[in-house]
Amino acid sequence: MKIDLEFLNEELPETLKDFFYALGGTPLFLFFLQVFTGVLLLIYYIPSYESAYESVYRITYTIPMGWWIRGLHRYGATLFIFTIFLHNIRVFVTRAYSSPREFTWVTGGILLMLSLGAGFTGYSLINDQLSYWATKVGTEIAGSLPLVGHWLSVLIKGGERISQFTISRLFTLHIFIIPLLLALFIAVHIFLVRRYGVSLESERKYPLIPEHLYLEISIFIFLLTFITLISAIFPPELGEKANPWKTPSHIKPEWYFYPLYLFLKLVPLKVGVLFPIFFLFIFLLYPFIEEGCERLTGRRGVLLLRTAGVLLYIYFVVAIIRESIY
Amino acid sequence: MKNYSYERVVTGILAVLMLIALIIVGGVEVQRRAGRIPEPYISAESLQCYECHTERGLSKISLIGWKKSKHGEKGVGCNECHLPAKEAGEEILSEKTECEDKKVKRSVSFHTCKRCHKKQFEEFEKGLHSSGMKNLELVLKTFGIDRDTTLCISCHSIGSEKNACSSCHVPHLYSTSSARRPETCARCHEGKEKAVYSYFLSSSHGTIFKVKGETWNWELKIEEWKPSLSRAASLIPDSPVCVFCHMVDGTHTVGLHKEFSFKGLRMAKRGIDIAKGREMGIDPGYAEEILNKRKEELKKVCMRCHTRNFFELNFKDLEKNLERADSYFLEALPSLNGRYDIDLFPLSQLNKDLLLYQRSYDFLTHFGKGAMY
Amino acid sequence: MRQKRRFFLSRIILYSVGFFAFLTGFKYLWRYMVRRVKGESVQIFAGRLSDMKEEVKEIRFRDEILLIIKKGEKVETFSSTCPHLGCKVEWIPSEKRFKCPCHGALFDEDGRVLSGPAPSPLKKIPTNVKDDEIMVEVGFYYED
């Protein structure tokens, strides 16, 4: 009893009122929203190669409110990844990943990767032209990795070609494995945040209940309203049914893959596949790399490193904007 | 206290905005629901047929056609038609099928259609199309030929049990709008011996159809076709097509107008032996009063758009032209017949008679076209 | 004092708006999960009365098997679904009653329960005979 009361009376530093610093909580809400709308969609979705498109069509056009639930899920996913990305930028800029919070960064990076995976598997389940060809391209890229490439692409596709087995696998990944891993890593991430505290402390405090609660509720309502309005103004549509014999004129992945997509257009395939993997490792282990860099080259080296990081973020933003325009 | 109410105000405003957003969602939903065809409740067995066929990739066109049809909309499924009715004929009941359920038959008897479309079935039975097979058999008997009807069946099967409804209402779409179009009738009523469709196209009525037919709303029922100046008038057919006169007000008793077939009116008027005609299997009863009755029926149809004087004038011209054409035909008949005495080609009796039939039609159409209105 | 009232009022407004928003959202969710069924009915031709030699005839339409029972000049139709747990009810000519093979429910020729576990009589389907033709009214259902 005592512990509970203490938790409720907890006082938070006033910095948490600044949305810039409260960006971490937003993806958490959106995760719950995604799970909730995902379960609702699950009631009507049929994970079969033949019926998937039909079931999504039914959800969008026949079932009452289906379009809204689907819109919430789709735009929720976009917002989920977007807010994680913003949060990541904030943490990088404010150097909140430095000791002792390295593992917080690592788990956060893993969460980012998992959410991208959820996005990819999710829109591949619709089985319209975009889904099919995006899956094809994705598995081709995976397949062009040296040594493990073919094995990896067969693992994802469930065979040599995209078939019922592919859909079943991506479905299992999307509704069970990735959400489970997400939940696990979120728990670890929050635990680490609570353990080491937020990076920017402040003298002035404010109570958890009721002020912070109101804040969180406001954010939640705001997000919900925003996504609802977007779904109402731009209801989700459905492309043509997947046709393995007809490549559409424009295959583009979802916006969060644009940086990779642009990169692949600019460099040869082998580089384009190997470099992102290399970059992934650097990204996940960045706090340790920075510490090593500081020890080796001092502050100048770190400044260089961080400038490179900022340039990379700028590239991401530019790539996303550029690809959306074309 | 001050911070408190600030938070609450913000939350309150957001809650109001949320409510507004939900109301907008409700509005969009109502709009979407208006254009939505509700999903029909399909019986479990029909669903079984549909799913098995989809899984195995069979009958794709049929499934798609069915889904788009009114039957599909209302959930009248595979089971309801492909399990034959008890009264179905032997030919259908003894069909072999590759389906696991041996009771399922590919052909659908009109007794099945009758269960829901009773009115149309009874009207059909009273009309001429239903005797398509009977007439064919009669002609063959009259000419004393062996039963090789493979070439005739394609049109005459409209009188048979399995093709009666599907001849004009093509399965699985069963589209009434396409059944109203003349092209459907032209499926049989066209060709050298029965070029009625091209006669129609060269008439005034047919010309209007040719030029404006694409803009008409063929979904309208036949009884709704009437000349009008209302805003929707451009969608109503401006001129009659086959179904307007031959299936008056949508009745399935196809028949008006037949007195003007060359075998009919002219025989009576020319005093050709009715008894002989009966022997040839031609429907007798072209007595003067019957012809007058039919003229009155025809007049009623024409007077939906035209005046009585217009009708009488044109009818007089029609009768005159037909009489003239007939007289030329009678004059030519012996020489047409006589040609066969030369016996240039060894023709079977059937072919000789068919050739005569065809030649006389060829001859007559030349003058017959002049009779087209 | 005014502070307290304003405080109270704002609380009420906030909660009621929130409550309505919650209700609306809940209503939408309910419509999503539960689909209404609308019905339309049509008359189907079930044969001629004069052709009916046996007392009870079974006709099959979509998911249901209907039992048409002839009583002199009148005709009644019952659904063959047993109101107990849904098995198909049979007519026993020797005993002049309907019997359900699953748990032994018995119904008389008017569909009323004679004995057995059935909680209600057999469902009656509107029928009429016109010009010797039996027309049964059956329903088409839509899910919206």
Q: Which residues of B touch C17 (CB under 8 A)?
A: 12, 15-16, 19
| DSSP-derived 3-state class of residue A43 | coil
Q: What chain B residue is nearest to C65 in terms of C-alpha separation?
A: B43
CA B372 to chain centre: 22
Q: Are residues C69 and C29 in the same domain?
A: no
When the candidates are 1.20.810.10, 3.40.50.720, 1.10.357.10, 3.10.20.30, the CATH number that belongs to A10-251 is 1.20.810.10
Residue C24 contacts B, CB cutoff 8 Å: yes
Tell me if A63 and C32 make a contact (CB, 8 A cut-off): yes
Each residue's pLDDT expressed in tens, for chain B with a length of 373 residues: 455 567 777 777 888 888 888 889 888 888 888 877 667 777 777 888 888 888 888 888 888 888 888 888 777 888 888 888 777 788 888 888 888 888 888 888 888 888 888 888 888 888 778 877 777 776 666 655 565 666 677 788 888 888 888 888 988 888 888 899 999 988 888 766 567 788 888 888 889 899 988 888 888 888 888 777 665 666 788 788 888 888 888 888 886 554 444 444 444 444 445 555 555 544 444 556 666 777 787 888 888 888 889 988 888 887 777 666 656 655 665 565 555 444 444 455 556 666 666 556 555 555 555 444 4
What gap in Å lies between CA A19 and CA C120, rounded to an integer? 64
Is the pLDDT at C39 greater than 90? The verdict is no
Residues 6+ apart with CB under 8 A from A99: A287, A291
Q: Dihedral sign, CA of B51, B55, B56, B59?
A: positive
Tell me if C35 and A69 make a contact (CB, 8 A cut-off): no
What's the pLDDT tens digit per position in C84-103?
888 889 888 888 889 888 88
ipTM for the complex? 0.75
Longest dimension (CA), chain A: 66
Tell me if B18 and A224 make a contact (CB, 8 A cut-off): yes
Residue A5 contacts C, CB cutoff 8 Å: no
Q: Which residues of C touch A67 (CB under 8 A)?
A: none
Q: What chain A residue is nearest to B53 in terms of C-alpha separation?
A: A50
Which residue, chain included where needed, has tokens 């056609």?
Answer: B65
Q: C60 to chain A, minimum CA–CA distance in Å?
A: 30
C110-134: burial string, b at 16+ Cβ within 10 Å, e else? ebebeeeebeeebeebebeeeeeeb
Residue among B5, B11, B116 whose CB faces C42 most closely: B116
pLDDT of amino acid B341:
44
Q: B299 to chain A, minimum CA–CA distance in Å?
A: 50
Q: Which residues of B touch A229 (CB under 8 A)?
A: 21, 24
B contact test, residue of C20, C60, C62 with most B CBs within 10 A: C62
Q: C27 to chain B, minimum CA–CA distance in Å?
A: 10
Under 8 Å between Cβ of B80 and B46:
yes
Under 8 Å between Cβ of A123 and A256:
no
What gap in Å lies between CA B292 and CA A131, rounded to an integer? 70
**Which sequence spans correspond to the domains of chain A?**
10-251, 252-326
Q: Are residues C101 and C67 in the same domain?
A: yes
Which residue, chain included where needed, has tokens 């699950």?
Answer: A42
Q: What is the mean pLDDT of residues C37-62?
A: 78
Which chains have at least 3 CB atom pairs separated by less than 8 Å from chain A? B, C
Q: Which residues of A touch C7 (CB under 8 A)?
A: none
Which residue, chain included where needed, has tokens 């003239």?
Answer: B324
pLDDT of amino acid B147:
56
Tell me if B4 and A64 make a contact (CB, 8 A cut-off): no
C contact test, residue of B6, B10, B16, B20 with most C CBs within 10 A: B16
Q: Are residues C8 and C54 in the same domain?
A: no
B contact test, residue of A46, A59, A221, A227 with most B CBs within 10 A: A221
pLDDT of amino acid B355:
60
What gap in Å lies between CA A175 and CA A118, rounded to an integer? 9
Element (H, E) at A314: helix A286-325
What gap in Å lies between CA B119 and CA B125, rounded to an integer? 10
C71: CATH: 2.102.10.10
Which chains have at least 3 CB atom pairs separated by less than 8 Å from chain B? A, C
pLDDT of amino acid A7:
59
Tell me if C144 and B39 make a contact (CB, 8 A cut-off): yes
Q: Are residues C85 and C23 in the same domain?
A: no
Q: Which residues of A touch B54 (CB under 8 A)?
A: 50
pLDDT of amino acid B1:
45
What are the tokens at A154?
């067969």
B interface with A, Cβ–Cβ < 8 A, is 3-4, 7-8, 10-11, 14-15, 17-18, 21-22, 24-25, 28-29, 32-33, 36-39, 54-55
B341-372: burial string, b at 16+ Cβ within 10 Å, e else? eeeeeeeeeeebbeeeeeebbebbbebbeebb
**CB atoms inside a 10 Å sphere around CB B76:** 22
Each residue's pLDDT expressed in tens, for chain A with a length of 326 residues: 444 555 566 677 776 677 777 778 889 989 999 999 999 999 999 999 888 998 999 899 888 899 999 999 999 999 999 999 999 998 898 888 888 888 999 999 999 999 999 999 999 999 988 889 888 888 888 888 878 888 888 888 888 888 899 999 999 999 999 999 999 999 999 999 888 877 777 677 777 666 777 777 788 888 889 999 999 889 888 888 888 888 888 788 888 988 988 888 888 877 888 888 899 999 999 999 888 888 888 888 888 888 999 999 999 999 999 888 87
What gap in Å lies between CA A303 and CA B4, rounded to an integer? 43
Tell me if C141 and B41 make a contact (CB, 8 A cut-off): yes
pLDDT of amino acid A282:
92
What are the tokens at A164?
């019922």
Q: Are residues C2 and C48 in the same domain?
A: no
A contact test, residue of C32, C36, C142, C143 with most A CBs within 10 A: C32
CA A150 to chain centre: 26
pLDDT of amino acid A117:
94
Q: C75 to chain B, minimum CA–CA distance in Å?
A: 18
Long-range contacts of B143-147, Cβ-Cβ distance < 8 Å, separation of 24 or more: B143/B349, B143/B350, B143/B353, B144/B349, B145/B349, B145/B350
Q: Are residues C58 and C30 in the same domain?
A: no
What gap in Å lies between CA B116 and CA C45, rounded to an integer? 6
pTM metric for this prediction: 0.67
Partners of A206 in the beta sheet? A12
CA B320-B323-B326 angle, to 5 degrees, is: 150
Could you give the residue ranges of the DSSP H alpha helices within chain B? Answer: 2-34, 44-55, 60-68, 70-74, 78-82, 90-93, 110-114, 118-126, 132-143, 153-156, 176-179, 182-186, 196-201, 204-212, 242-246, 265-269, 274-279, 288-302, 308-342, 349-368
Q: Are residues C65 and C126 in the same domain?
A: yes
Element (H, E) at C133: strand C133-143
Under 8 Å between Cβ of A66 and B29:
no
Residue A67 contacts C, CB cutoff 8 Å: no
Q: Which domain holds residue C19?
A: 1-34
pLDDT of amino acid B187:
85
Q: Which residues of B touch C62 (CB under 8 A)?
A: 43, 45-46, 75-77, 79-80
Q: What is the residue type of C107?
A: F
Phi-psi label, residue C68: left if phi above 0, alpha if psi -120 to 50, beta otherwise = beta
Residues 6+ apart with CB under 8 A from A223: A26, A29, A30, A33, A79
Total domains, chain C: 2
pLDDT of amino acid B192:
62
Backbone angles phi, psi at C114, to 5 degrees: -95, -50
Q: Are residues C9 and C80 in the same domain?
A: no
